[in-house]
Amino acid sequence: TLPIRLADYRAPAWRVERVELDFELGIDATEVAAKLLLRRDPAQDEPLRLEGEQLELLSIALDGQPLPATAWRLIEGGLEVDGARDGSVLETRVRVHPAANTALEGLYLSGPRESGFLLTQCEAQGFRHITWFPDRPDVQSTYTVTLRADRARFPVLLAGGNPDGAGELEGGRHWARFVDPHPKPSYLFALVAGRLEKIERDYRTADGRNVQLKIWAEADAIDRCHYAMDALERSMRWDEQAYGRNYDLDVFHVVATHDFNMGAMENKGLNIFNAKCLLADPDSSTDDEYRRVEAVIAHEYFHNWSGNRVTCRDWFQLSLKEGFTVFREQSFSADMNSAPLKRIEDVSLLRRAQFPEDAGPLAHPVRPAEYREINNFYTATVYEKGAELVRMLAGKLGAAGFRRGTDLYFARNDGRAATIEDFLDALGEANGIDLTPYLAWYGQAGTPRLRAHGEYDAARREYALTLSQHTPPGAGQPHKQALPIPVKLALFGADGRLLPLHLDGQTSTGGTEAVVVLDRIEQRYVFRDVATRPVPSLLRGYSAPVILECDYAPDELALLLTHDPDGFNRWEAGQQLAVRACDALRDGTPPQAVAAWCDALAALFDDAGLDADLLADLLTPPGEIELAERESVVDPTRIHMLRQQLLQHLAVRIGIDKLDARYRALAAQSTAALDAASQANRRLKQRVLQLLALLDPARACSHATVQYRHAPSMTDRLGALTVLARHDTARSAEPLAHYRAHYANDPLALDKWFALQAQLPGEGALARVQALEADPAFTLKNPNRARALLGTFASGNPTGFHRVDGAGYRLYAERLLALDALNPQIAARLATAFNGWQRLEPRRREAAHASLTALAAHDKLSRNLAEIVGNMLK
Beta bridge mates, 464? 455, 526
**CB 573 to ligand HT7: min, Å:** 33
Q: How many CB atoms lie within 10 A of CB 509?
A: 15
One character per residue 319-358, x = contact with ligand HT7 (rule: CB under 6 A): ---x------------------------------------
The catalytic position among 294, 300, 357, 388 is: 300
Backbone angles phi, psi at 41, to 5 degrees: -80, 115
Q: Under a CB-based contact definition with an 8 Å cutoff, are residues 477 and 471 in contact?
A: no
Instruction: Enumerate residues 300-329 that contact Zn ion by CB under 5 A.
Output: 322, 325
Which is nearer to Zn ion, 299 or 682 (by Cβ)?
A: 299
CA distance 455 to 434: 33
CA distance 162 to 185: 17
Query: Is the Cβ of residue 307 or residue 486 nearer to ligand HT7 in the bound state?
Result: 307
- Spell out, one character per residue from 325 to 344, where the chain touches Zn ion: x when CB under 5 A holds, - when not: x-------------------
Task: Give the ranges where 533-635 is alpha helix by DSSP (H).
Answer: 554-563, 567-587, 592-605, 612-618, 624-629
Min. distance of Cβ 300 from ligand HT7 in angstroms? 5
Contact assessment for residue 144 and residue 219, using Cβ atoms and an 8 Å cutoff: no
620 binds, among ligand HT7, Zn ion, none (CB under 5 to 8 A by kind): none
Name the closest residue to ligand HT7 (Cβ).
262
Count of positions (residues) in the chain: 874
Residue 275: contacted member of Zn ion, ligand HT7, none (CB under 5 to 8 Å, by partner type): none
* Residue with Cβ nearer Zn ion (108 or 327): 327
Q: Which residue's CB is nearer to Zn ion, number 294 or number 322?
A: 322
182, 299, 488, 540: residue in contact with ligand HT7 (rule CB under 6 A): 299
DSSP state, residue 609: T
What is each CA distance from 779 to 284, 367, 772, 827, in whole angstroms? Answer: 21, 35, 10, 14
What number of chain residues touch ligand HT7 (CB under 6 A)? Answer: 13
Nearer to Zn ion, 285 or 325 (CB): 325
Q: For residue 261, state whether it binds ligand HT7 (rule: CB under 6 A).
A: yes
- From the list Zn ion, ligand HT7, none, which binds 255 (C-beta under 5 to 8 Å, kind-based)? none
Least CB distance to ligand HT7 at residue 307 (A): 7
Task: Please provide residue 633's backbone torsions phi and psi, each rounded to the nearest 5 degrees.
Answer: -125, 120
Q: Smallest distance, Å, CB 303 to ligand HT7?
A: 6
User: What 8-state DSSP symbol labels residue 477?
Assistant: B
123 is an interface residue for ligand HT7 by CB under 6 A: yes
Q: Which of 727, 731, 637, 650 is nearest to 691 (CA)?
A: 650
> Which is it for the CA torsion 621, 624, 629, 630, positive or negative?
positive
Task: Give whichever of 322 and 345 is closer to Zn ion, judged by the CB atom.
Answer: 322
Q: Which span (18-26, 117-125, 200-208, 847-855) binds ligand HT7, by CB under 6 A?
A: 117-125
The residue type found at 398 is G
In the complex, least distance from residue 325 CB atom to Zn ion, rounded to whole angstroms = 5
- Provide, rounded to whole angstroms, the least separation between the CB of residue 715 and ligand HT7: 26
**Min CB(269)–ligand HT7 separation in Å:** 15
Helix crossing, 386-413 with 420-429: angle to 10°?
Answer: 80
- Distance in angstroms (rounded) separating the CA atoms of residues 788 and 780: 10
- Nearer of residues 382 and 475 to ligand HT7, judged by Cβ: 382
262 binds, among Zn ion, ligand HT7, none (CB under 5 to 8 A by kind): ligand HT7
For the window 366-405, what string marks contact with ligand HT7 as x by the rule CB under 6 A? ------------x---------------------------
Decide whether 30 or 325 has the Cβ nearer to Zn ion: 325
CA distances from 614 to 123, 561, 597 (A): 38, 12, 16
Per rule CB under 6 A, is residue 262 in the interface with ligand HT7? Answer: yes
Shortest distance (Å) from residue 393 CB to Zn ion? 18
Nearer to ligand HT7, 307 or 365 (CB): 307
Which listed range, 116-124, 196-204, 349-357, 760-768, lies at the site for ligand HT7 (CB under 6 A)? 116-124
CB nearer ligand HT7, residue 724 or residue 831: 831
Is 245 one of the binding residues for ligand HT7 (CB under 6 A)?
no
Q: How far is the CB of 121 from ligand HT7 (least distance, A)?
A: 5
Q: From Zn ion, ligand HT7, none, which one binds at residue 261 (CB under 5 to 8 Å depending on kind)?
A: ligand HT7
Q: Taking the CA atoms of the chain, what radius of gyration do you get in angstroms?
A: 28
Q: What span, in angstroms and rounded, lies between the C-alpha atoms of 422 and 406?
A: 11
Smallest gap, in angstroms, from Cβ of residue 355 to ligand HT7? 20
Q: Tell me: does residue 265 bind ligand HT7 (CB under 6 A).
A: yes
Task: Report how far apart, in Å, the C-alpha atoms of 130 and of each of 57, 87, 190, 523, 795 are.
Answer: 11, 23, 11, 56, 34
Q: Which does 378 bind (CB under 5 to 8 A by kind): ligand HT7, Zn ion, none?
A: ligand HT7
User: Closer CB to ligand HT7, residue 228 or residue 498?
Assistant: 228
Whole-Å CA distances, 476 to 390, 417, 480, 647: 25, 29, 10, 40
Q: 273-284 in b/e burial notation, b at 16+ Cβ within 10 A?
A: bbbbbbbbbbeb
Closer residue to Zn ion, CB minimum distance, 225 or 264: 264
Angle at 332 between CA 327 and CA 337, to 5 degrees: 125
Our answer to whether residue 300 is catalytic in this structure is yes
Rounded to a whole number of angstroms, the minimum distance from the CB of residue 274 to ligand HT7 is 8
- Residue 265 binding target from Zn ion, ligand HT7, none, CB below 5 to 8 Å by type: ligand HT7
Per-position b or e across 467-486, b if 16+ CB within 10 A of its CB: bbbebeebbebeebebbbbb
The Cα–Cα gap between 693 and 531 comes to 46
Cα 618 to chain centroid, rounded: 24
Q: Which stretch binds ligand HT7 (CB under 6 A): 260-268, 335-343, 724-732, 733-741?
A: 260-268
Q: Which candidate, 100, 119, 115, places its Cα nearest to that of 260?
A: 119
Cβ at position 825, least distance to ligand HT7 in Å: 7
Please calculate the CA angle 205-206-210 and round it to the nearest 5 degrees: 25
Contact (Cβ atoms closer than 8 angstroms) between residue 315 and residue 350 = no
Residue selected from 51, 135, 248, 300 as contacting ligand HT7 according to rule CB under 6 A: 300
Of the candidate residues 30, 121, 140, 406, the single one contacting ligand HT7 (CB under 6 A): 121
Identity (one letter) of the amino acid at 207?
D
Gap between the Cα atoms of 846 and 858, Å rounded: 19
Q: Using the rule CB under 6 A, give the single segment among 68-76, 118-126, 308-316, 554-562 that binds ligand HT7.
A: 118-126
| Pick 104 or 483: Cβ nearer ligand HT7 | 104
The pairing of beta strand 89-96 with beta strand 30-40: antiparallel
Q: Which does 123 bind (CB under 5 to 8 A by kind): ligand HT7, Zn ion, none?
A: ligand HT7
- In which order are the strands placed within the sheet that holds 535-537? 514-518, 485-492, 535-537
DSSP 3-state of 462: strand
Q: Which residues contact 356 (CB under 8 A, 6 or more apart)?
A: 625, 629, 835, 836
Q: Choosing among Zn ion, ligand HT7, none, which partner's interface includes residue 51 (Cβ < 5 to 8 Å by kind)?
A: none
In angstroms, give the least distance from the CB of 127 to Zn ion: 17
- What does the binding site for Zn ion look like in residue numbers (CB under 5 A)? 322, 325
- Which positions are annotated as active-site residues? 300
- What does the binding site for ligand HT7 look like in residue numbers (CB under 6 A)? 121, 123-124, 261-262, 264-266, 299-300, 303, 322, 378
